[in-house]
């Protein structure tokens, strides 16, 4: 039978015949992931089930990226649990300190993720890896414990929504704007336990960074996975990351889709998600003068080198407005070094920015940028729920890096084309 991308990838990892959405199948796993917040719970469950070792020490990744460098005693204890478990199990891919980066930017960069993989992670934004043509999804820590022990897990084959992006991509528009536009169109429950499968000429031309940004926020539409076909661009990215043997993957002609959504980006303005839901999306030019106290550029959504360059292009020769805290967090050590070597740090520092280490930081209200009551932030992160970045009385607006940089300069949320 003809398969969607999700069905085709899952089929390659199960001995059962996939006949359609809703079917329960048991699949072999390519990688199991957890971080410093979620891994301790998984470790507890792992030991409670009597497991003696992980199924494959090369196929478990433990990334301490959320509250690191450790912000307090509690976070230090969390990381200690993960560190000791990694040593006990001989886990190859344990990351902390100078080699750690934001997990969903780090693992693809290291070549640990690739086309056709099936990946589960104890983090909702594991779906990022769909940008590389992997079926990747977040699960609870108990499921992750089972995955670490057994190397397999069950999945309900998701229905697929096909999203076609057409038109001419305007200046200052990227993957973040495309996914925000989609979420604004279908809502935060619009793809609940569905796979989002992206195609169209705009997707074909989109960078790998842009594709991962879009896949990252599939969960903000309720999606189980966000998937992109594997093309020459994907294969080149994976080869540069040290992978070999990857092949192109595309949905079959005649595959069954639950729904088709088409978005024409011609003439689109940068998109901004307003408080307190990612679906509350409006063009930046319709917002008026919304004053900000903070701008954050980074995270697993927009902390890659492409994002650093986009921010630097706007900030060059300019300064953050008085009273605006500009925080920039390159997502991995490699990106950090590359931004430094390209002279982007000089631009950031001249603009009055604080350049921090590769960490999730303020995205989840962790550290390095917590908001006080009544404060307002524009951020390149992925969620703007009430209290997400600090006080319940604060507000978070989501945008692409160019908009966040321009807003830092203007002191109000601004289209970079207006600077």
pLDDT tens by residue, 208-238: 999 999 999 999 999 999 999 999 999 999 9
5-262 and 272-418 have identical folds:
yes
pLDDT by position in tens, the chain (length 419): 899 999 999 999 999 999 999 999 999 999 999 999 999 999 999 999 999 999 999 999 999 999 999 999 999 999 999 999 999 999 999 999 999 999 999 999 999 999 999 999 999 999 999 999 999 999 999 999 999 999 999 999 999 999 999 999 999 999 999 999 999 999 999 999 999 999 999 999 999 999 999 999 999 999 999 999 999 999 999 999 999 999 999 999 999 999 999 999 999 999 999 999 999 999 999 998 999 999 999 999 999 999 999 999 999 999 999 999 999 999 999 999 999 999 999 999 999 999 999 999 999 999 999 999 999 999 999 999 999 999 999 999 999 999 999 999 999 999 999 99
pLDDT tens by residue, 383-395: 999 999 999 999 9
Q: What DSSP letter does each residue of 93-139 carry, written as one string? A: EEE-GGG---HHHHHHHTT---TT-EEEESSGGGGGGGGGT-EEEE-
Bridge-based pairing state of the strands 24-28 and 152-156: antiparallel
Q: What is the pLDDT of residue 1?
A: 82
Instruction: Kindly list the domain boundaries of the chain, sorted by start residue.
Output: 5-262, 272-418
Q: What is the C-alpha separation between 266 and 270, in angstroms, rounded?
A: 12
DSSP class of 364: G
DSSP class of 160: E
Q: What is the C-alpha separation between 51 and 371, in angstroms, rounded?
A: 41
CATH classification code of 5-262: 3.30.499.10
| CB distance 181 to 281 below 8 Å | yes
Q: What is the C-alpha separation between 258 and 249, in angstroms, rounded?
A: 20
Q: What is the pLDDT of residue 20?
A: 92
Two structure tokens written together for 244: 């070999």
CATH class assigned to 272-418: alpha beta
């Amino acid at each position: 039978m003809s398969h969607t991308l999700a069905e085709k990838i899952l089929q390659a990892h199960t001995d059962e015949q996939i006949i359609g959405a809703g079917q329960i199948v048991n699949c072999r796993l390519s990688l199991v992931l957890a971080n410093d917040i979620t891994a301790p719970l998984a470790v507890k469950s792992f030991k409670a089930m009597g497991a003696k070792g992980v199924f494959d020490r090369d196929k478990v990744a433990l990334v301490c990226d959320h509250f690191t460098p450790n912000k307090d005693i509690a976070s230090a204890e969390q990381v200690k649990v993960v560190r000791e478990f990694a040593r006990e199990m001989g886990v190859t891919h344990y990351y902390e300190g100078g080699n750690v980066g934001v997990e969903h930017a780090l693992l693809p960069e290291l070549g640990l993720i690739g086309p056709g993989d099936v990946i589960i992670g104890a983090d909702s934004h594991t779906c990022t890896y769909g940008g590389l043509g992997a079926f990747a999804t977040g699960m609870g820590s108990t499921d992750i414990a089972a995955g670490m022990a057994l190397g397999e897990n069950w999945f309900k084959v998701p229905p697929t929504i096909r999203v076609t992006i057409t038109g001419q991509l305007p200046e200052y528009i990227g993957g973040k704007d495309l996914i925000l536009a989609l979420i604004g169109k279908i809502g935060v429950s619009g793809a609940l336990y569905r796979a989002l499968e992206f195609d169209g000429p705009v997707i074909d031309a989109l960078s790998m960074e842009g594709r991962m940004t879009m896949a990252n926020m599939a969960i903000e539409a309720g999606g189980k996975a966000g998937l992109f076909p594997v093309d020459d661009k994907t294969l080149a990215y994976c080869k540069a990351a040290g992978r070999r043997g990857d092949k192109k993957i595309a949905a079959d002609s005649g595959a069954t889709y639950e729904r088709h959504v088409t978005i024409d980006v011609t003439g689109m303005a940068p998109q901004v998600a307003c408080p307190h839901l990612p679906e509350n999306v409006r063009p930046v030019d319709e917002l008026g003068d919304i004053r900000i106290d903070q701008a954050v550029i980074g995270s697993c959504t927009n902390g890659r080198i492409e994002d650093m360059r986009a921010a630097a292009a706007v900030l060059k020769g300019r300064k953050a407005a008085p009273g605006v805290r500009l925080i920039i967090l390159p997502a991995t050590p490699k990106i950090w070094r590359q931004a430094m070597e390209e002279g982007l740090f000089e631009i950031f520092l001249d603009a009055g920015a604080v350049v921090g280490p590769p960490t999730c930081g303020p995205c989840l209200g962790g550290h390095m940028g917590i908001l006080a009551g009544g404060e307002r932030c524009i951020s390149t992160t992925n969620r703007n729920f009430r209290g997400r970045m600090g006080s319940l009385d604060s507000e978070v607006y989501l945008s692409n890096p160019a908009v966040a940089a321009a807003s830092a300069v203007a002191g109000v949320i601004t289209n970079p084309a207006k600077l």
